[in-house]
Amino acid sequence: MGLKNKNIGLIGTGKMGSSLIRGILKSNIVDSSNVYASDIYNQSLENLQNELGINVSNDNKQTVMNSDIIILAVKPQVIRKVIAGFKDEMTEDKLVISIAAGVPISEIEDELNSGSKLIRVMPNIAATVGESSSAICPGGNTTNEDVENALEIFKTVGTARVVSEYLMDAFTGVSGSGPAYIFPVIEAMADGAVYEGLDRKNALTFAAQTVLGAAKLVLETDSHPAELKDMVTSPGGTTIRGFHELEEHGIRSAFMDAVIESSKRSRELGK
Ligand SMILES: NC(=O)C1=CN([C@@H]2O[C@H](COP(=O)(O)OP(=O)(O)OC[C@H]3O[C@@H](n4cnc5c(N)ncnc54)[C@H](OP(=O)(O)O)[C@@H]3O)[C@@H](O)[C@H]2O)C=CC1
Ligand SMILES: O=C(O)[C@@H]1CCC=N1
């Protein structure tokens, strides 16, 4: 039971694949000798091998043959072609985990041999620093142990919970894509501080720590964000002046629309 002595394979070592490899190895749930990775981009493989000591190959079949759990971290647009290339190496004991945005479980199961075990996951790039929030959705042929293994892998890189598949597009909108909506917020807040005379390094550090602190307050207190906002906002003070400015620029609808459009795009990618 558990991941001890299991081999984990990554197909696709781009931004998300390499983020997961780094996160998983940092947690020591498996040894680097238990990790196999393949990609068509040689330089990223060579870098990962030199830096982390994992097994690498240009041949996805090698990864599948050597692995008990195979994480598919290629773009949704190529996932069907990638599966077609390795499906002959699949056996019923192997578990495939797809992190492709939008692509439904039924479509991937159709591409794999019948009876194949599949789990769909939506993590995010904060896996690199152990702070992903991953939504996990098991396919029909998986066992409780498979789900436990997937939870263990994705809990090493942040939080992870099992969700219903019909909500995966919404999780993609808010959490998969979400970090990209917050980075410009941090940069723009730092820009404001630079405008006011702070040096860039301090401006970025203070802006990022402020976002981290605000997120922790939401997660670790039972308070509604509006209540927390009111705690900062003194009557006639500094915060309400800044807040009025944000409201004038339609901050809430901008962020809501970003998540809604991202979720819509996730649904489109599945068609
Ligand atoms: N980036 C993110 O924050 C998140 C991404 N995802 C999902 O993760 C998946 C990967 O995204 P991301 O890491 O951003 O994409 P990347 O393009 O950075 O990584 C994909 C990697 O797969 C490689 N690749 C392409 N074809 C093959 C093939 N036939 N065999 C093996 N490797 C191949 C690509 O090589 P090359 O570049 O040469 O084509 C690239 O290195 C996507 O499905 C995405 O929806 C999910 C959550 C968050
Ligand atoms: O932009 C994308 O399509 C991927 C999926 C979620 C985050 N990045």
Asked whether the predicted pLDDT for residue 82 surpasses 80, the reply is yes
pLDDT for 90:
94
Same domain, 209 and 228: yes
Asked whether the predicted pLDDT for residue 58 surpasses 80, the reply is yes
Same domain, 158 and 246: no
pLDDT for 113:
84
Is residue 105 within 8 A of residue 130, CB to CB? The reply is no
Ligand nearest to the CA of 261: 2
The residue among 145, 167, 189 that closes a domain is 167
Is residue 87 within 8 A of residue 68, CB to CB? The reply is no
Mean pLDDT for 185-198 is: 98
Same domain, 26 and 150: yes
Residue 268 CA, ligand 2 centroid: distance in Å = 13
How sure is the predictor about 5, in pLDDT bands with cuts at 50, 70 and 90?
A: confident
Say if residue 206 is exposed, middle or buried (CB neighbours under 10 Å; 0-12, 13-18, 19+): middle
Asked whether the predicted pLDDT for residue 174 surpasses 80, the reply is yes
2 inside domain: no
Same domain, 151 and 182: no
Ligand nearest to the CA of 169: 2
How sure is the predictor about 41, in pLDDT bands with cuts at 50, 70 and 90?
A: confident
Same domain, 195 and 235: yes
Same domain, 155 and 124: yes
173 inside domain: no
177 lines ligand 2 (CB under 6 A): yes
39 inside domain: yes
How sure is the predictor about 159, in pLDDT bands with cuts at 50, 70 and 90?
A: very high
CB under 6 Å to ligand 1: residues?
Answer: 11-17, 38-41, 44, 60, 73-76, 78, 82, 99-101, 122-125, 176
What total number of domains does the chain contain? 2
Domain that holds residue 162: 8-167
Kindly report, residue by residue over 197-225, the tens digit of the pLDDT.
999 999 999 999 999 999 999 999 989 99
Report the atom number in ligand 2 closest to the C-alpha of 266: 3
Residue 2 CA, ligand 1 centroid: distance in Å = 27
pLDDT for 148:
96
64 inside domain: yes
Ligand nearest to the CA of 74: 1
Report the atom number in ligand 1 closest to the C-alpha of 85: 29
The residue among 115, 148, 167 that closes a domain is 167
pLDDT for 1:
62
pLDDT for 43:
87
Same domain, 125 and 256: no
Same domain, 150 and 185: no
172 inside domain: no
Same domain, 152 and 203: no
- Residue 127 phi/psi, 5° resolution? -55, -35
Asked whether the predicted pLDDT for residue 2 surpasses 90, the reply is no
Q: Whose CA is nearest to atom 36 of ligand 1?
A: 41
The residue among 148, 167, 186 that closes a domain is 167
Q: Whose CA is nearest to atom 5 of ligand 2?
A: 101
Same domain, 18 and 79: yes
- Report the residue among 74, 132, 137 best suited for mutation to probe ligand 1: largest number of ligand atoms under 8 A from its CB: 74
Residue numbering of the annotated binding site: 11-16, 60, 73-76
Cα 212 versus chain centre, distance: 18
198 inside domain: yes
Secondary structure of the chain as H, E, C letters? CCCCCCCEEEECCCHHHHHHHHHHHHCCCCCHHHEEEECCCHHHHHHHHHHHCCEEECCHHHHHHHCCEEEECCCHHHHHHHHHHHHHHCCCCCEEEECCCCCCHHHHHHHCCCCCEEEEEECCHHHHHCCEEEEEEECCCCCHHHHHHHHHHHHCCEEEEECCHHHHHHHHHHHHCHHHHHHHHHHHHHHHHHHCCCCHHHHHHHHHHHHHHHHHHHHHCCCCHHHHHHHHCCCCCHHHHHHHHHHHCCHHHHHHHHHHHHHHHHHHHCC
How sure is the predictor about 4, in pLDDT bands with cuts at 50, 70 and 90?
A: confident
- Residue 91 phi/psi, 5° resolution? -125, 165
Same domain, 159 and 182: no
Q: What is the CATH number of the domain that holds 185?
A: 1.10.3730.10
Residue numbering of the annotated binding site for NADP(+): 11-16, 73-76
Amino acid identity of residue 23, one-letter, is G
Same domain, 187 and 234: yes
Q: How much is the ipTM here?
A: 0.98
